[in-house]
Amino acid sequence: MPDLSKLDLTKLALPLDVGGARIRNRLFLAPMSGITDEPFRQRAYAHGAGLVVSEMVASGELARGRAGCGLRIRHSGLPVHMVQLAGREAAHMAEGARIAAGEGADIIDINMGCPAKKVTGGYAGSALMRDLDHALSLIEAVVGAVEVPVTVKMRLGWDEGALNAPLLARRAEQAGVSMVTVHGRTRCQFYQGKADWRAIARIKQAVSIPVVANGDVGSPAEAAMILDQSGADAVMVGRAHYGAPWTAGSIAATAAGETASGIPASPQALADYVIAHYEDMLALYGIESGLRQARKHLGWYLDRHAASAASDQRKAILTSFEPAQVIARLRDVFQSAAESADLRSAA
Ligand SMILES: Cc1cc2nc3c(=O)[nH]c(=O)nc-3n(C[C@H](O)[C@H](O)[C@H](O)COP(=O)(O)O)c2cc1C
């Protein structure tokens, strides 16, 4: 374990210029499909994340006007609206970028990191790292289609034998890309093992545009370590936000020597927070779809803040089709979790 007192987080509090877009600090929320929708991004930004990114949008579906894509690219009113596109057809990527920019996107990100078979099977996401010429044709198409800055998110490579992220990053920079984000795993690792933070240094050394380091960060100490080991300019945090949309903001506040805003500090505030998130999702998606989509968030909030909840209470919340019932049970469950914690600490 390194001496944490020697690691420096302060850089994360500084603003960052991404192709002319001013980002207020260097702690970003990662794009996560099915998770970082508008209600989630609004919360993460309000807590102090420097940048938030839409879930990936399939450029082919966007170009064909498929229902549901509109919600994913819709401007959320935040100062910097960043939309991520996935795909493998240059014409679709260019058209998708034009549509997103037309909706007010300030930055377009290209997904070259998604490991899912559904995506790589269509030669999109991290499969693009197997064919850099094709990857470059997509980058050039997007850069040529829009005036706004274009960024790329990638992994270290397809597998251990093909760690070509430095080359992709360099070629992307030459094609006009303004920033790259690197998840310190290969595609074939999916999410196994531990992200290799030192390997990200090779990408940092290959380019002069900002490099964002990503993978397994969830605390100020981990943010300081990934910065130290990668030399990156910024840090992106994904799964540590489950049940805690304030994670990036809280690390950014620590870096600035401040306290993050809006973190619920009592069982009552936590219940209000979770219920407001739930209601925002129902309002956005409608009751039927919202109920289903909100369940994973409710599950994470319960795991994280009410782990002692009885399994029947938990099950009732996660299976109910009646929002009023869910809300009443959420209040009970956070209150009893707080009371049992009080009892334990008094014992
Ligand atoms: C459920 C889930 C959905 C994801 N969706 C996307 C996505 O839409 N676009 C993308 O570039 N990466 C996506 N990712 C990858 C994350 O952005 C991030 O690179 C990865 O989770 C590693 O960071 P972490 O260890 O902080 O979670 C997703 C990850 C998860 C777990």
DSSP 284-312: HH-HHHHHHHHHHHHHHHHHHH-TTS-HH
What does DSSP say about strands 21-23 and 16-18: parallel, antiparallel, or unpaired? antiparallel
H/E stretch holding 94 reads helix 90-102
Farthest-apart Cα atoms in the chain, separation: 66
CB 124 within 8 A of CB 100: no
* Phi/psi of residue 183, nearest 5 degrees: -85, 125
Percentage of the chain with pLDDT > 70?
96
- pTM of the entire structure? 0.96
> For residue 212, what are its two tokens?
């964002």
Taking CA atoms, 275 is separated from 4, 120, 238, 241, 272, in Å, by 37, 36, 22, 17, 5
Over residues 197-203, the mean pLDDT reads 98
Note the pLDDT of residue 187. 93
H/E stretch holding 84 reads strand 82-86
Return all residues near 321 (Cβ < 8 A) that are at least 6 apart.
Answer: 291
The full set of domain ranges for the chain reads: 4-256, 267-340
Note the pLDDT of residue 346. 58
CB 37 within 8 A of CB 284: yes
Residues in contact with ligand 1 (CB, 6 Å cut-off): 30-35, 55-56, 84, 111, 113-114, 153, 183, 214-217, 237-240
Q: Calculate how far, in angstroms, residue 239's C-alpha sits from the geometric centre of ligand 1.
A: 7
| Distance of alpha carbon 189 from alpha carbon 279, whole angstroms | 36
Percentage of the chain with pLDDT > 90?
84
Closest CA to 257 of 6, 95, 14: 14
Q: Has 114 been annotated as catalytic?
A: yes
Ranges 2-6, 22-26, 269-273: which has the least confidence: 2-6
pLDDT tens profile 18-36 = 999 999 999 999 999 999 9
Annotated binding-site residues for FMN read 84, 153, 183, 238-239
Q: Calculate how far, in angstroms, residue 266's C-alpha sits from the geometric centre of ligand 1.
A: 30
The DSSP output letter for 88 is S
Helices and strands, number each (H, E), in the chain: 14, 10
pLDDT tens profile 80-134 = 999 999 999 999 999 999 999 999 999 999 999 988 887 877 778 889 999 999 9
Q: Which CATH class is domain 4-256?
A: alpha beta
Residue type, 70: G
Note the pLDDT of residue 347. 55
> For residue 181, what are its two tokens?
């984000």
Residue 137 has pLDDT above 80, yes or no: yes
